[in-house]
Amino acid sequence: MIDAYEETYDSSSVWEELKGARFEACTFRNVNWAGADLRQSRFEDCNFMDCDLSNIKALGVSFQNVRFEGCKLLGITFEVCNPLGLSVRFERCNLEASTWQEMDVRGFQFLECKLQYNDFTAANCEGVKFAKCDLLQAVFERTNLKKADFRTAEQWTLDPAVNQVKGAVFSESELKGLLQLWGLDLRDE
């Protein structure tokens, strides 16, 4: 089992069994773990840059104070991760087709991310900032979006009748995302 502290890894790193591995204060650059079995692994105070973790097996994975920058994280079922101390930040990441069902994602940051086809059903997204994120076909149903910031987010739609949106912030030009589900025809003139 891998137990690493303050190590730096790149595309030339050779990987043994990652299941149950522990990494603390480590940096990963251009690492390709697409489809890897990371069950029960622990990452604390780690940075991932330009890595591919698409379709990882995430059951029990612990991400504590982890930053992902320019990473590909397609199809990850984040709700099976260890919720204890879960704290992540995503910058310029592709998280397409990932799920966050019934998760508490308060405090998460999504900056310039592709969140297309993500499922936030029954998640607690209170105060989450979706800065310059593409939310095409993202699902918000029974989601707590109180004080969430959608001002610079694009292509989102949500129904205020089935989500908690009190105090959420939207740009006037993107308000169509609140009305689209009702079949209204919005025109500038």
Residue located via tokens 């086809």: 117
pLDDT in tens, 103-143: 999 989 999 999 999 999 999 999 999 999 999 999 999 99
Fold of 99-189: Pectate Lyase C-like (2.160.20)
The pTM assigned to this predicted structure is 0.91
Instruction: Give the angle 120-138-65 at the CA atoms, nearest 5°.
Output: 50
What architecture (CATH level 2) is domain 1-70? 3 Solenoid (2.160)
- Identical fold, 1-70 and 99-189: yes
Count the neighbouring beta carbons within 10 Å of the beta carbon of residue 176: 12
Percent of the chain, pLDDT > 90?
87
Q: Is the pLDDT of residue 72 over 60?
A: yes
Q: What is the mean pLDDT of residues 154-177?
A: 87
Q: How many CA atoms lie within 13 A of 93 on its CB side?
A: 29
Region of 134 (left: φ > 0; alpha: ψ -120 to 50; beta: rest) is beta
Cα–Cα distance, 82 to 90 (Å, whole number): 18
Cα–Cα distance, 32 to 152 (Å, whole number): 30
The domains of the chain are located at 1-70, 99-189
- For the record, the structure tokens of 55 come out as 């379709």
